[in-house]
Amino acid sequence: MSSKDNNSDSGIGLVVLGSIVFALLLLYFSTGQFTEDFVSVAWLIPVFPIVTFGLIILFGMYDPRRGGSFALFGVGLSSVFSMAVVYEVLFHDSLHGGFIESTRTWFGGETYSFEFGTYIDSLAAILLLVVG
């Protein structure tokens, strides 16, 4: 293993650690210092990979890992938010056996609107652990 590989491995570790710390800070402030339910910010889980895709397309050629750092950062953010939602749903039983469904309009015109929705129940929370 060359010294270049060791530097690359430590760089990946820093990206992962940075994404986890940033995600925890973002989660802290987006839930009002943890006073709101984590389920209320579940809509952000798919937003991070979408934004990361755009960053990879625009700035991936400038990254030494060809966009891999951006991808790790986006997946780290989504994973932390997924684990927070799972913790809230399964351990605090915030849904009480029910579900939460929310819909947001991302953009629209006079005759159309593009809506994005989230549906969180116990099964969806477990799938967030598997996928996210």
Mean pLDDT over all residues of the chain?
A: 78
What are the φ and ψ backbone dihedral angles of 39, each rounded to 5 degrees?
Answer: -65, -25
**pTM more than 0.75:** no
| Alpha carbon distance, N-terminus to C-terminus of the chain | 31
pLDDT digits (tens, 9 = 90+) for 8-44: 556 767 776 777 777 778 777 776 766 567 777 888 8
Q: What does the pLDDT look like over 99-108, one tens digit per residue?
A: 788 788 878 8
pLDDT at 26: 78
The alpha helices in the chain, defined as continuous H runs, are 3-30, 47-59, 68-86, 122-131
Average pLDDT over residues 63-82: 81
pLDDT of 7 above 60: no
DSSP state of 118: E
pLDDT of residue 1: 46
Question: What local confidence, expressed as pLDDT, does residue 78 receive?
Answer: 87
